[in-house]
Structure 1
């Protein structure tokens, strides 16, 4: 059985576990950090994005030389960028495990996410590993992918 490696962690925004595809997680994190480091709108628009949409491309009419602050971009302020990390389990986890360990929750603005209780971590990770998944915990990466503390990255 061929499986993808997974990264998971405690997603603080929803206070539950989140699972993401490890093959793309590091690349997404690099893109988020690069965008947060941009000093001007022109720099922000030039950040190469392979895994994520660049919210600076779709926001406002700012001139390229105007100062850029990722935390003030409309999609970030509205909570639409980056996409909620807790939605990723719908793609990353097998359906039977989603049903066994998670509960579908609905948000008013962002749609459904999978709530996986922190106290189910040991059982779920053991079952994934038993099926051949490579599973690594990285809370910082999971929360970065969820858009937590973006302002701290710009420093």
Structure 2
């Protein structure tokens, strides 16, 4: 979203992507409420959307019309993950902390630094691979294409 590098933990990223796909494939609000999340929170779940507020279980569900998706709260911005997965010294050297009104801080790492940063991470024993499709899904970029 911010045209910069983003990182995710490979151990959980595929499972998080499966949770996003499962919610996006729900056809009704009832199905959406039943999607179990381990890594993410379910923005269609009973803790966030009450059927008494006008979303009956048999009503059609469209993930891109979900309040938390429309206002950018779900899934959380993927560029915030760099604070969790990158060593602090590399965050300081390659990135710049930026602030957004809705999502809080994220680490902006310019694309130009990719090769050098990846080499440094690999030199420290990190297994680094690039998967733009996965990163975009974790960021919610392709949610509309998953629905339906």
What is the deviation of 1:125?
Answer: 0.2
Report the aligned-residue RMSD: 0.8
Partner of residue 10 from structure 2, selected from 13, 18, 22: 22
Gaps of 5+ in 1: 1-12
| 1:125 aligned residue | 118
What is the deviation of 1:149?
Answer: 1.9
- Cα deviations across residues 105-126 of structure 1 (Å, max 9, x unaligned)? 0111210000000000000000
TM-score when scaled to structure 1? 0.90
Q: Kindly indicate whether residue 133 of structure 2 is the aligned counterpart of residue 140 of structure 1.
A: yes
Q: How does 1:4-153 map to 2 (within 5 A)?
A: 13-57=1-45, 58-60=48-50, 61=53, 62-153=55-146
What is the deviation of 1:59?
Answer: 2.5
Distance 1:69 1:59 in 2: 13
Q: Which has the higher contact order (CA 8 A, sep 6+)?
A: 1
Q: How many residues align?
A: 143
TM-score when scaled to structure 2? 0.95
Is the contact between residue 40 and residue 66 of structure 1 (CA under 8 Å) also seen in structure 2? yes
Distance 2:95 2:43 in 1: 30
After TM superposition, the runs of 4+ consecutive aligned structure 1 residues lying more than 2 A away are none
Describe the SS at the equivalent of 1:52.
coil
